[in-house]
Amino acid sequence: MFLPRSRSGIGLFRVSVVGISGSGKSTLAAAIADRIGCRHIELDAIHHQADWQPKPRDEFRKAMAPLLDSERWVVDGNYSSLVQDLVWEAADTVVWLDLPRRVVMPALVKRTFVRMATRRELWNGNRESFSNLFTFDAEENILLWSWTRGPILQTRMEQEVNDPKWAHLQFVRLRSRREVSGWLNAASG
């Protein structure tokens, strides 16, 4: 498992990191970006405006265009119906964190409670709220979102990997924290 090299032999890195909430996308993307010396683009930070208002689709796509023009970048996030096509058309590699629920959910619960307890700002003044954990609306409850969307994402990604439209991409599917660590070490070695 490795990161691709450009046709010239010089590292050309355009990496999309995808996976369900709590899988470690942002952490891995930041580590890859640090190791290859490029920008880490967090889709959540662009999409979630103040008061959790979503950036309109056309504005989201317009904001992404100049970011994807640079020679190297690492993007983390899914947003399949909004900007995935733009990201993947420009990418060389898609790293898919396909970790089991028994790994993702405890990490997500811990992360969520730490963010809530510390009132940590995420993006554009937004913070996670304890009250969101008491709703059955997956759009509001990150734990419910991850639990219900995980199988949907897995099915979609299995289809995407085999779609000829994405034949130019190298797909890396990582199914455990050990595989993630091993791949990252091999990729930067």
User: Which residue ranges make up each domain of the chain?
Assistant: 14-99+150-187
Beta-bridge mates of residue 17: 76, 95
Q: Which CATH number fits domain 14-99+150-187: 3.30.70.20, 3.40.50.1970, 3.40.50.300, 3.40.50.2300?
A: 3.40.50.300
At 159-171, the pLDDT tens digits run: 999 999 999 999 9
Q: Is the pLDDT of residue 11 over 50?
A: no
d(CA 132, CA 121): 16
Q: Cα angle at 79 between 82 and 94, to 5 degrees?
A: 115
Virtual CA dihedral for 165, 170, 176, 182, nearest 10 degrees?
-170
Q: Is the pLDDT of residue 94 over 50?
A: yes
Q: Which residue has the higher pLDDT, 121 or 75?
A: 75
d(CA 75, CA 91): 9
| 120 in Cβ contact with 114 (< 8 Å) | yes
User: What is the pLDDT averaged over residues 7-16?
Assistant: 60
Q: Is the pLDDT of residue 8 over 80?
A: no
User: What is the pLDDT averaged over residues 144-171?
Assistant: 94
| 109 in Cβ contact with 146 (< 8 Å) | no
Rg of the chain over all Cα atoms, to the nearest angstrom: 16
Q: Where are the alpha helices (DSSP H) in 37-100?
A: 43-47, 57-68, 84-90
